[in-house]
Each structure stands twice: as C-alpha cells, then as structure tokens.
Amino acid sequence: MVTSQCLALAAMTLSLTFLGGCRTHANDSFAATNLLAPLIVAEIPGVLRVEAEMMPRGEVKNDKDASGGKYVRVSGEYQPILTADVPKTGGGVFTIWARVRGIQAQLKGTPGGTQKEYEWSWDKSDTWKWVRFGRHTRAALGENIVIIRGSGAAGENDGLDCLVFAEDDSYKPDSAGNTAPDGTAFLPDFDKKPVVPTPDASRTPIAVSVNWAKVEGKATPLHYSINLYGGFSEKNALSAAYKANIEYMAPGMVRYHNAGKMQPSSKSWEGCLNESGTGWDRAKLARILTALRFKHKPAVLLNIPSFPAGMDKNNDRFLDVDQWDAYAALCADFVRIVNVENKLGVKYFEITNEWDGPYFTDFHENGGWGGLKDPNKPDRWDEVGEIYNRCAAAMKAVDPAIKTGGPAAARPDLVEMHERFARKTLPYLDFFSIHAYASGSADTPDAEVYDRAKAMGDFAKNAVTLMEKVSPTRRIPVFLDEYNISWTWETRDPRMTNAKSGVFDALTMVATTRAGLDSAQAWNEKDGVYGKTDNGDNRRPGAEVFHLFNTYLVGNRVVTKSGNGAVVAYAVTNPQTKRRSLLMINRTDASQTVNAAFTGQPTGAKGYQRVEIASGKNGEKPTTTRGTPFAKPGRASWVLPAHSVTLLTFGG
C-alpha cells in the first residue's frame, strides 16, 4: 500500500503535490531507495496518479496498453484490487478516477477506521476505460481508500491499471492517463436537464393510455412499505440520519425483523434477550422502540422470528414440544413490554418467520411440491399452527386490541401448505403473510428478474383468493412482508443497490397493489447488500423510488394500459392534492418511446414535473425537469431510458 511515510517523503522530494508510492510488509525494513515510483509522477499540478502495480492486492500482469506497462488482476469476487492512502496535501476535496478493464468496481473509504461504501462502476468494458467514482472530502475518505472488484468470473485480461486523485473536478484523464477528456465520466454531477435518449427508429413506439376518471382501486402507503432490519440497533435508534431516511421514504408500515433478535443483547447488536437468553432485555426494547418514533407515523409490525436456543435442547431446529407453552408465555411477555409497560400501542404482531423450511419443505420431494421423502416421516407443519394458536391466545390475553398473523412463509407458491396453516389458525389469524424473492444468482438475466416481480403479484393474488376461500365472512388482510431480488445475501447482487433495484421495486409494488394485496414490505431499509440506504445512511436509488411512490402515487388507482410489456404504466389521481401522476417503468436494456393518450380529465394544458431514475445516468440519482404544455391536448410522447423509472406529475 502507499504508506503515509511514503506520501510525505515523496511530496518533499519532488516539491510537488504528486506523491510517491511503495509496497511494504510488517517484516520489511524501510528502504528510502524504494520510496519513489516514477510512474506516479504526472504533469498536472493538483493531480496524483497511483499505479496499481506499485501497491498490488493481486497478480501483477504485463500489458503494453496499460499505463506503465503493468496492471493488477484479482480473481475473487468482492476482493480488494488496490489500496492507496488519501493525499494529505492539497485542498482536501478530490475527484477520484480509476482506469479499469472488464470488471465492476467499487470505491470504499475508511473514515474513522471503518470501511464505508461509495460509488460503483458497473460497466465491464472490453478495453481500458476511465471511470469516475465521485468527488469526496478527505474526511469522508479517511486515511486510505480501497478499490473492490465486483461480481462475475474474472477474465485473464481484466483488472485495474491506475488511480487518480484530482483536486480540480473539471480534470478528466484521457485513454493514456493524461489530461484530455475521453467523455467517459461515470457519475456526472447532478443535472436538472438530463440528456434525452434518442428514439430508436427500429423500435415501434409503445402506446400507453390513461383514463383519469375511471378508478380501479386504492393505492395507500401500506402498499409501499419496508422492513427495518436495523430496527433493533441502538445506534440506529439514536441516529437522526437513520430516522430522516425512513421518513423520506415514508413507508406506510415498518416491519421490525432481524433473525438475530433471539439472542442475548450482550452478544450482538440485533439481540433482544436477557443475559441468560431465557427472557427479554426489557430495558433495550423500551429504549429502542420508544426512540424510534417517526413523524409520518407508520403502522408498526413486530416480528418474533424464532425461539431462544434453550428451547431446542437437542438442536434439531424444532421448538421442543415441552417448550410450546413457555414460548407462548415469552411472546405474551413481549406484548406486555411493548404495549402495557411502555404503552406504545403497537397493533401488529407476527408469530414465526419462515418456519415452513424445517417444518414442511424439508420433508417433501421436489422442493416442497412433491410427496413425502419418507412415508414414515410426516411433515410437522401442523405443529406450527398449534404453536401459533397458543402464542396468539396468550398475546391477546395481555392486549386484546392487537392483531396477530403469520406464518411469514418463505415459499409463496405452496398454496396447499398455506391453506393448512390458515385453516388451523383461523380463529386467531388477523393477517396472513408470505415472502418472495426473485433469484438466488447474480447471473439471472435482468428480464427474468423483472418477470418475477410480476410473479409476486400472482402470488399475492393467490393468497388473497385463498383467504377469501377459508374465511368468506371475515376479511383477512394479506401481507407480502419480505421481497427483493436475491433470497441470499451471498450473491451480493449489485442490482439490489443500483437503479435496477428501483425498477424491480417499482414493478413489484405495481404488481402487488393491483393484485389486491394489503401491504408489500421490501427487504430492507439499510445494510450493505439489500438496503435502500447503505451502512453510512446514504440513499440508494431504491430509497428515491419509495419516496416517489409515497409522495405521488397515493390515492385512486385509475385505468392505465400499456401496449407492450417492455413498459409498465401505472397512474394515480389524488383528490386531496389535486395531483395526477403517471409512472412509466422501462424494464428493458434499450430506450423506449412512449406515445400516451389521456382521457377523463384535462392533462397537459399546463407545465408538469418529470422525475427520472435511470441506470448509469446522473449517478443513478433522480433528475427533475419541467415539461412544457402538450402541443396536442391529451397526447404526448416521451423517450424512456433503459432500466428506468419515470414519473410525470400534473397539477397539485
């Protein structure tokens, strides 16, 4: 790595702001003769170029087209490819560029000694290409930065050539590493006038129609809800930034869920049990749930995911039969802490989380669809219903006003399994919950991932129909209370944090709302893999999509049609705000032209607002423009960028 000693000595030796580099190990003697790397010296004041081979985190390879004739390659996914100290001289604000080939890459800083994620470059160029990783202060970057290689197989020629710190934001390196711009800036600064894609003459325009006067249903903030994975963190509970982000997204319901909840709080930030692991940490629960009050007052759902380890003495993944009543008492005590001792008035309590795996699916062939693997070993799914009933009865005895529900099934497709649970628990079932994820591989094509967002609407519709069947006289709401692209964090699928996550979330919220679902709750609000914000509370594109939905797409859903599945259209009119909003989602990797026809209300007689979030454009941040009145009443055309969410708002 480029040590601080190297940087300081290089600066003094050269009398420039260009800093030298060296590679040292703990057992190396400090040799001044190895401090300076000529390839790091550039010709422009205020610019530092760091050659990757001078502090490699992988294999150094020769290439005549690389700056200095060498570059660095790593084969592992999400592995460091370069580490460099942040310059200690200069103005303290730097634009960071890297020259890469064939890899996705991410910039990480180390403020306060802790890694913090910054921009990604997603383009796997076949040739050397400069990508821009934004502009950052020295304080935000910390002592040093790390460039991480992303996902996918590494080609033999893929890697990182060099890195540039530039004090002047207008500086752009050229293809040889010098000063002329090559026009490949990765994350341009915010632009309120984004470049409009040129229509593809080979593609037929897609017809979209909206009848603003014909209502087909309601759209509420409950339809656009979210999980609080970090909801049991005392740090988040005290964080103004965390709360501000939740309020910005304004979900109608927040589901507090974390599988780590059922362990002593002394062992993990997620833990909510006492030191012995036999009961709740009452003080922690009171501190967190009292502190996490949001201004927009969302409905709160508290999930009890599992049981303490001591209630499964033989470690077979099943709640011991002689512990069923003890578990019910534990759940009842949870309600007592929340609503009696702290008077928080929480309405929704969810019993269990994804118990269908061990209790049902693991006993059956074909992933749960087939018969028993062993005819002499029946599944234990009915036990879950019995456990649920005991818990619900005990919880309602503490607070009769609460609503209990479950089973938060991992499998949204096993309708017969769902029916068994619903019929078993019907007297205590106030809401029914399922989960759905699109894929288990980061290599699943985008089109398939988007198709599965539509399938989530089908799962929701099946669950709604099932509840009408088992409870014809009492309506049982249905929640899809976890959804995202990947069902495992291990894929680290970048589509869950870039603009494609916004496209997927938008498609899912549209599909599930139209299916009659009562609430869809995305997984999740904040983390390094799934979150709508990152671990530093920086908003990702998904957070912006939630903000748009809960700001502009609440009210009466009106009849909206698209003539081609490449573009999904969804429109809402709000009688209170007098707004009419049209959402258009381009779920393809090419720009699409839309020809829209509006009826029912005058639209387009005045200017309107256009907000757009698109893959690879404007740093995947929203761009806002002001549209001019339509040239022809009720008729207009727009070009939608690839992988984008576009919202048009009229009036209000």
Backbone torsions φ then ψ of 582, nearest 5 degrees: -115, 125
CA angle (217, 219, 222) in 5-degree steps:
135
Would you state the pLDDT for residue 121?
80
Would you state the pLDDT for residue 202?
65
Would you state the pLDDT for residue 26?
31
CA 640 to each of CA 121, 502, 582: distance values in angstroms, whole numbers, following the listed order: 22, 15, 13
pLDDT of residue 68 exceeding 90, the answer is no
Q: Is the pTM of this model over 0.85?
A: no
Which DSSP letter does residue 222 get?
Answer: G
Would you state the pLDDT for residue 46?
77
Which DSSP letter does residue 197 get?
Answer: P
Span 384-388, average pLDDT:
99
pLDDT of residue 413 exceeding 90, the answer is yes
Q: DSSP letter string over 449-503?
A: HHHHHHHHHHHHHHHHHHHHHH-SSS---EEEEEEEEES-GGG--GGGTSHHHHH
- CA 406, CA 390: separation in Å to the nearest integer? 13
pLDDT of residue 361 exceeding 80, the answer is yes
Backbone torsions φ then ψ of 303, nearest 5 degrees: -95, 135
pLDDT of residue 189 exceeding 70, the answer is no
Domain 221-553 class? alpha beta
Q: Are 313 and 263 in contact (CB under 8 A)?
A: no
Span 474-499, average pLDDT:
95
- CA 525, CA 533: separation in Å to the nearest integer? 6
User: For residue 45, what pLDDT band results from cuts at 50, 70 and 90?
Assistant: low
**How does pLDDT run across 441-459, given as a tens digit for each residue?**
999 999 999 999 999 999 9
pLDDT of residue 51 exceeding 80, the answer is yes
User: Looking at the chain, which residues constitute the CATH 3.20.20.80 domain(s)?
Assistant: 221-553
CA angle (577, 578, 579) in 5-degree steps:
90
pLDDT above 70 covers what percent of the chain? Answer: 88
3-state secondary structure of 12: helix
Span 449-472, average pLDDT:
96
- CA 526, CA 537: separation in Å to the nearest integer? 7
User: For residue 198, what pLDDT band results from cuts at 50, 70 and 90?
Assistant: low
User: For residue 200, what pLDDT band results from cuts at 50, 70 and 90?
Assistant: low
Tokens representing 534 are 């990152």
User: Looking at the chain, which residues constitute the CATH 2.60.120.260 domain(s)?
Assistant: 4-166
Selected residue with higher pLDDT from 461 and 191: 461
Selected residue with higher pLDDT from 608 and 518: 518
Which residues, 6+ apart, have CB-to-CB distance to 400 below 8 Å? Answer: none
Q: Are 135 and 188 in contact (CB under 8 A)?
A: no
**How does pLDDT run across 523-579, given as a tens digit for each residue?**
999 999 999 999 999 999 999 999 999 999 999 999 999 999 999 999 999 998 889
CATH of domain 4-166: 2.60.120.260
Span 17-46, average pLDDT:
32
pLDDT of residue 617 exceeding 50, the answer is yes
pLDDT of residue 187 exceeding 70, the answer is no
Q: For the chain, state the CA radius of gyration.
A: 27
Would you state the pLDDT for residue 185?
23
- CA 225, CA 301: separation in Å to the nearest integer? 11
Most confident region among 13-22, 104-113, 143-152, 388-397 by mean pLDDT: 388-397
Q: DSSP letter string over 391-425?
A: HHHHHHHH-TT-EEEEEEES-SS-HHHHHHHHHHH
Q: Where are the alpha helices (DSSP H) in 169-310?
A: 234-237, 240-249, 282-291
pLDDT of residue 177 exceeding 80, the answer is no
Would you state the pLDDT for residue 538?
95
Span 348-359, average pLDDT:
97
pLDDT of residue 376 exceeding 80, the answer is yes
Domain 206-215+559-650 class? mainly beta
Selected residue with higher pLDDT from 194 and 493: 493
User: For residue 38, what pLDDT band results from cuts at 50, 70 and 90?
Assistant: very low
Span 459-463, average pLDDT:
97
Would you state the pLDDT for residue 212?
96
Residue 228's identity, in one-letter code, is L
User: For residue 604, what pLDDT band results from cuts at 50, 70 and 90?
Assistant: confident
Would you state the pLDDT for residue 182?
26
User: For residue 178, what pLDDT band results from cuts at 50, 70 and 90?
Assistant: very low
Would you state the pLDDT for residue 108?
92
pLDDT of residue 388 exceeding 60, the answer is yes
User: For residue 44, what pLDDT band results from cuts at 50, 70 and 90?
Assistant: low
pLDDT of residue 22 exceeding 80, the answer is no
User: Across all residues in the chain, what is the average pLDDT?
Assistant: 86
**How does pLDDT run across 157-170, given as a tens digit for each residue?**
999 999 998 888 87
Span 632-638, average pLDDT:
91
pLDDT above 90 covers what percent of the chain? Answer: 69
User: Looking at the chain, which residues constitute the CATH 2.60.40.1180 domain(s)?
Assistant: 206-215+559-650
